[in-house]
Amino acid sequence: MISIALDMMGGDLGSAATLEGAKIFHAAHPEVKLILVGKKEELSSEIGEIVDARDVVAMDAGPLEALKARESSMYKAVELVKANEAQGVVSCGGTGAYLSCATVRLRLIPGVKRSALITAFPTKIKGKKVVVLDAGASNENSGEEIAQFALMGSLYSKFVYGLESPKVYLLSNGGEEHKGSPEGKEAFALLKEDAKLNFCGNIEAREALSGEADVIATDGFSGNLLLKSTEGTAKLMSGMLKDAFKRNIFSMLGYLLCKKGISEMKETMSSKKVGGAMLVGVNGTVVKAHGNSDGEAFANAIEVAYKLISSNMVDKIKEGLSS
């Protein structure tokens, strides 16, 4: 039986949002056991088991703080995976705190140099996603670490999207081999020699969402930048679009006539739909939801964890790294 531990307290919107998310997920997957970790008086035993936790790790808490807060919902939720009572954990708590807590308590898979956040982006090709890692678990990474991210990303793409030979790229400031950050160039040299991967070279941020790449590996600072600037630009353009439609009565009518297509576009660009990013490289399925996740976003993050557990992603990565 699949069992998922949920940190119900860590997000910006508190337990009301996570509880709504858990309910949405439970309605779709009543067979999955949810373990709700948080202040018991705010939770509901109808949709899962409750584990009481009185403390909440603050959004801006550092790694040490999170590891010391043993009575927190975040720490206790991670511990459930360590104790094998759950196969995965989902939290919308602060990135630094949550990822350190998960990495230290669950430990890295043997051979993994650094864990990485892997997140999916929409592309120009309808329905096609590109996964990017590290999207912000680290602040800086060595070339060797980035090369290993490429491998883990390829395995993820293979088993989550069913691609036989995912096209793997390095994020760079130019397409040519001599371009890239110093660490990116190191990773390039390593990947070029790796026959296991379908390594296709450097890709510029401009082409990241073109649909050409299946996997883009980069250091955590750059990956985070890519993620956040995509979000920021999408937000800016959505606002402009809204203004364009609100100009006058004709443009409002115009909006009504093409509403369906516009909604689809918004849906594709919405970070809520993505739901959660996986922390790859640790012993257990660890999913990070957006800090300001509402019910829908949190439900989608639980869905991500569910899919990863069902497809034995952690074992697949273990096998892939040892072969």
Other C-beta atoms within 10 Å of 68: how many? 13
107: tokens are 């430990």
Q: Does 241 bind a copy of itself (CB under 8 A)?
A: yes
Exposure string for 185-202, b = 16+ CB within 10 A, e = fewer: bbbbebbeeeeebbbbbb
Minimum Å gap between C-beta 186 and a copy of itself is 13
Residue selected from 30, 54, 165, 210 as contacting a copy of itself according to rule CB under 8 A = 210
230: tokens are 């995509």
Which amino acid, 23? K
Q: Does 265 bind a copy of itself (CB under 8 A)?
A: yes
Q: Does 102 bind a copy of itself (CB under 8 A)?
A: no
Task: Calculate helix-pair angle for 143-161, 182-192, nearest 10 degrees.
Answer: 60
77: tokens are 């939720």
3-state secondary structure of 289: strand
- The answer to whether 284 touches 88, Cβ cutoff 8 Å, is yes
Quick note: the x/- pattern for a copy of itself over 162-181, rule CB under 8 A, is ---------x-x--x-x-xx
Minimum Å gap between C-beta 13 and a copy of itself is 18
Q: Which is nearer to a copy of itself, 48 or 94 (CB)?
A: 94
Q: Which is nearer to a copy of itself, 68 or 247 (CB)?
A: 247
Q: Does 139 bind a copy of itself (CB under 8 A)?
A: yes
Instruction: Please give the residues from 81 up to 100 whose contact with a copy of itself meets the rule CB under 8 A.
Output: none
What number of chain residues touch a copy of itself (CB under 8 A)? Answer: 61
Q: Does 310 bind a copy of itself (CB under 8 A)?
A: no
Q: Does 110 bind a copy of itself (CB under 8 A)?
A: no
- The answer to whether 14 touches 57, Cβ cutoff 8 Å, is no
3-state secondary structure of 165: coil
Q: Does 305 bind a copy of itself (CB under 8 A)?
A: no
Query: Phi, psi (5° rounding) for residue 185?
Result: -65, -40
DSSP 290: P
Instruction: Please give the residues from 214 up to 233 whose contact with a copy of itself meets the rule CB under 8 A.
Output: 220-222, 224-233
Q: Which is nearer to a copy of itself, 48 or 153 (CB)?
A: 153
Q: Does 9 bind a copy of itself (CB under 8 A)?
A: no
3-state secondary structure of 184: helix
Q: Does 127 bind a copy of itself (CB under 8 A)?
A: no
Question: How many Å apart are CA 140 and CA 209, to the nearest integer?
Answer: 23
Q: Does 321 bind a copy of itself (CB under 8 A)?
A: no
Question: What distance, in Å, lies between the first and last C-alpha atoms of the chain?
Answer: 29
Q: Which is nearer to a copy of itself, 16 or 244 (CB)?
A: 244
Dihedral sign (CA 57, 85, 48, 31)? positive
Minimum Å gap between C-beta 109 and a copy of itself is 25
Which amino acid, 204? E
**Residue ranges in contact with a copy of itself by CB under 8 A:** 60, 62, 122-124, 136, 139-140, 171, 173, 176, 178, 180-182, 204-210, 220-222, 224-237, 239-241, 243-245, 247, 250-251, 253-258, 260-262, 264-265, 268-269
